[in-house]
């Protein structure tokens, strides 16, 4: 399976990142475009339209000047009024040169406009503008000279007519240049708007495609694996069978899958252990039942045979004790699992209880030999039934895994308001981890026995009984071959 190193969080972050970046670029682009459009419109208003307005007035003044000059041949001219019109045109020209003349303007707007002119191959318009301005200036100069020498002389005033016509012609040329400028600027604005529109579409589509591709990638990277996890959990729920998901990599889903694998493995292992435990329990219940039923049936069918009758009774007695313990073990283990272990404390003679249980275990496990050192054990506050069961489980387990023929040492050791029951034995064939495994619920151990029982319940119940007494159960390996179980209880 392919290794997945990129985390799901990073994939999602990349997806969101692409979407945010696309939105940011589009918003930025929209703001920039809006700013540029506003700048273009401001330029149009400040320069082009204001120039045309000024030019219209100037043309009007030039026309009035020409009409006054034409009328001067018949009536005395109003030279002052004519001078005022000239002055107004002159004022317009000065302002034009100072603020509007494209050739002399060095503002950012003017530079952009120059670029637009070059792009439109209309750079010659600037030369035309300069020529028209110069013609306007020359006409105004001549008119100024003639009006200055005219006084009330109607002849001289009449000679202004030609210059006024030249002035108006030059102003019209300038107006045509302005109209051409408007056309070029408008085309430039339209071009820029179109470009903005296209780029916004391109960025939007690219962002959308990027988001879709990344989203699909994230979906493909996540959805099938999540579905597989769900299917596996569902299959496990329905059939109790677990096939490992084998997710490799370090992303969150791989971590989740591995956690589910581990969880399902643990559940399956517990289930197997439980089934194995139940199978052993069933076996342990049915094996003595075979002897009990067989011998009692035989005794009933042959009442004259005293030997068979005695054997049957003996079997019933010994197996009943063992079966009773086994059933108690099951019931108490079930109570422990449900958190309802009954606890009724009373004063218990620890030495007497240990001796009694050891004798009982020795009876059912004739191949095992116990060596007791319990003289120092006193009384302790405990639930006698539970403690008996715990010691029985402990000794049975020790007898189960101890090497055949070796002594199992059982010692009671009082220590500072506590009492320790130490069970030591040699079990070289049992690894230390096997002892740990015995603490799992429903753990069991099989061993080579003589007649009778061939398995023992694990130490889970024993540890729980120790816990409800405020004590503990420890498993130790003092040497390579020696194993020790210590039941530590408050005295």
Partner 1 sequence: MSDAAVLVIDDDADMRDLVRLVVEPTNVDVVGAATCIEGIAAYRICLVLLDYFMPGMDPACCARQLCSLTGSAAIVLCTAGVNPAARAAEVGLSRWLAKPFELDALETLVRDAVRQHTPPLTSEPATQDILEYPRGSG
Residue 408 neighbours by CB under 8 Å, 6+ apart: 368, 369, 370, 371, 395, 398, 399, 402, 423, 424, 425
Shortest Cβ 449–partner 1 spacing (Å): 7
The residue among 74 and 448 lying less far from partner 1, judged by its C-beta, is: 448
Integer CA distances (angstroms), 432 to 192, 396, 464, 475, 481, in order? 82, 18, 21, 9, 10
Shortest reach from residue 240's CB to partner 1, in Å: 16
- Report the distance separating Cα 487 and Cα 350, nearest Å: 12
| Shortest Cβ 430–partner 1 spacing (Å) | 14
Nearest to 128 by CA among 139, 119, 117, 115: 117
User: Toward partner 1, which CB reaches closer, 121 or 239?
Assistant: 239
Question: CA neighbours within 13 Å on the CB side: how many for 83?
Answer: 11
Closest CA to 376 of 356, 408, 350, 355: 350
Taking the least distance from each CB to partner 1, the nearer of 295 and 392 is: 295
Q: How far is the CB of 452 from partner 1 (least distance, A)?
A: 7
CA of residue 439 relative to chain centroid, distance: 38
Q: Are the C-beta atoms of 129 and 172 separated by less than 8 Å?
A: no
Least spacing, CB of residue 288 vs partner 1, in Å? 8
Using DSSP's 3-state secondary structure scheme, residue 371 falls into strand
By beta-carbon proximity to partner 1, the closer residue of 177 and 292 is 292
Backbone φ, ψ for residue 483 (5° rounding): -120, 150
Sequence-distant (6+) residues with CB within 8 A of 454 are: 284, 287, 446, 447, 448
Q: Which is nearer to partner 1, 67 or 282 (CB)?
A: 282
Binding site for partner 1 (CB under 8 A): 278-279, 282-283, 285-287, 289-295, 297-298, 301, 308, 311, 315, 446-452, 454
CB 50 within 8 A of CB 100: yes
Q: Report the alpha-carbon distance of residue 203 to residue 214 in Å, rounded.
A: 16
In the complex with partner 1, the residue whose CB is nearer, 254 or 398, is 398
Is 26 within 8 Å of 204 (Cβ atoms)? yes
| Smaller CB separation from partner 1, 13 or 278 | 278
With respect to partner 1, which residue has the nearer C-beta, 312 or 398?
A: 312
Residue number with CB closer to partner 1 (346 or 451): 451
Q: What are phi and psi of 107, to 5 degrees?
A: -70, 165
Shortest Å distance, C-beta 303 to partner 1: 14
**447 phi and psi angles, rounded to 5 deg:** -155, 170
Is 176 in contact with 104 (CB distance < 8 Å)? no
349's torsion region: left (phi>0), alpha (psi -120 to 50) or beta? beta
Nearer to partner 1, 95 or 274 (CB): 274
- How near is the Cβ of 293 to partner 1 at its closest, in Å? 5
Q: Cα–Cα distance between 440 and 276 in angstroms, integer? A: 13
Q: How far is the CB of 444 from partner 1 (least distance, A)?
A: 12
Q: Running DSSP on this structure, what letter comes out for residue 13?
A: H
Min separation Cβ 286 and partner 1, Å = 4
């Amino acid at each position: 399976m392919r290794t997945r190193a990129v985390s799901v969080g990073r994939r999602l972050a990349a997806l969101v990142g692409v979407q945010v970046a696309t939105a940011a670029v589009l918003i930025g682009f929209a703001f920039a475009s809006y700013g540029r459009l506003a700048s273009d419109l401001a330029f149009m208003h400040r320069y082009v339209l204001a120039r045309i307005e000024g030019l219209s007035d100037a043309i009007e003044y030039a026309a009035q000047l020409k009409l006054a000059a034409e009328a001067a041949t018949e009536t005395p001219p109003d030279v002052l009024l004519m001078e005022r019109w000239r002055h107004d045109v002159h004022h317009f020209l000065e302002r034009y040169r100072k603020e509007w003349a494209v050739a002399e303007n060095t503002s950012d707007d003017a530079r952009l406009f120059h670029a637009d002119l070059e792009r439109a191959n209309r750079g010659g318009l600037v030369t035309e503008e300069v020529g028209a301005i110069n013609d306007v200036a020359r006409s105004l100069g001549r008119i100024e000279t003639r009006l200055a020498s005219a006084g009330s002389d109607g002849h001289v005033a009449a000679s202004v007519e030609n210059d006024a016509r030249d002035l108006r012609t030059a102003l019209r040329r300038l107006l045509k240049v302005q109209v051409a400028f408007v056309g070029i600027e408008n085309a430039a604005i339209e071009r820029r708007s179109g470009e903005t529109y296209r780029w916004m579409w391109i960025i939007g589509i690219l962002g959308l495609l990027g988001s879709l591709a990344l989203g699909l990638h994230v979906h493909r990277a996540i959805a099938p694996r999540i579905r597989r996890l769900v299917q596996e959990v569902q299959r496990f729920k329905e059939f109790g069978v677990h096939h490992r998901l084998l997710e490799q990599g370090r992303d969150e889903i791989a971590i989740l899958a591995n956690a589910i694998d581990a969880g399902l493995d643990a559940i399956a292992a517990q289930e197997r252990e439980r089934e194995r435990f139940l199978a052993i329990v069933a076996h342990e219940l049915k094996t003595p039942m075979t002897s009990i039923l067989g011998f009692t049936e035989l005794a009933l069918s042959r009442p004259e045979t005293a030997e068979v009758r005695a054997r049957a009774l003996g079997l019933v007695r010994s197996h009943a004790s063992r079966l009773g313990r086994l059933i108690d073990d099951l019931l108490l283990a079930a109570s422990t699992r449900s958190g309802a272990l009954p606890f009724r404390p009373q004063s218990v003679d620890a030495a007497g209880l240990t001796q009694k249980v050891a004798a009982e275990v020795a009876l059912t496990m004739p191949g095992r030999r116990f060596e007791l050192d319990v003289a120092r054990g006193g009384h302790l506050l405990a639930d006698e039934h539970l403690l008996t069961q715990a010691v029985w489980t402990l000794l049975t387990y020790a007898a189960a895994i101890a090497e055949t023929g070796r002594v199992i040492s059982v010692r009671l050791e009082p220590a500072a308001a506590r009492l320790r029951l130490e069970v030591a034995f040699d079990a070289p064939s049992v690894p230390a981890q096997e002892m740990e495994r015995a603490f799992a619920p429903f753990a069991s151990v099989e061993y080579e026995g003589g007649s009778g029982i061939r398995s023992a319940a694990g130490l889970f119940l024993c540890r729980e009984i120790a816990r409800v007494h405020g004590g503990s159960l420890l498993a130790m390996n003092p040497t390579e071959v020696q194993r020790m179980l210590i039941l530590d209880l408050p005295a």
